[in-house]
Structure 1
């Protein structure tokens, strides 16, 4: 077991000597391309703002939504939650949703399958990445799925 001082020293040494953060030293052209065009891409795509407007709208929505327990043992104990509460807990952060967007834009898949759509924030990012992709999403709670469908319809 290392002491906190030893761990800090090792971490600082790692940060100084680490060299693959920008993709240099990666031999595979495929992996290098992925690192350069997906992981290190700092472009603020216009689609980000469209999806973030949806997130902002959902975070401000206090409409109650009935929650259903499908036997997974939910510990919340509530019969309903607000759209805002659901969005805070289940929506991917902007950082990871934008990573999903860049991955979908890089690979340009013909089909996308998302399970556990929730309110559709991640789905919005995936759908906006390549509008020619066919997307199939699934959400177990009918009330939440209805909200997600309305969100998809509003995005086009």
Structure 2
């Protein structure tokens, strides 16, 4: 683990009060942990601006499972992009509605395009793509070759 370094910051009292309220609402144990998360989020967001950045995405879908051939289309898209699809989860949330979460991995450009393709299918009533920059989580070999070497 990397050595922790202490820093000091100056904030207006009203801003600090709002930050402390946020920390309390989100159940952070202390200000330091909250600041670390904010910095990580900002850095990840900056990395995601580069379409070549390695990332993971969770594509959330709500759809009517009675929609003609939608389930088959979802399966076909995932199978045609097998190296990008990590996993998926399917949950029945109503009589006709299903929630599907599809996890993708690859370059921002590729997985955003694939996520958009999935979300825009006819019959999807809600879709959202959440990206996280993943370069720091990949092994040197995966990062340099852009491949997933899982067994």
Normalised-by-shorter TM-score class: under 0.3
Q: Which has the higher strand share?
A: 2
Q: Larger relative contact order (C-alpha < 8 A, sep ≥ 6)?
A: 2
TM-score of the pair, normalised by structure 1: 0.24
TM-score of the pair, normalised by structure 2: 0.25
Q: Which has the higher helix share?
A: 1
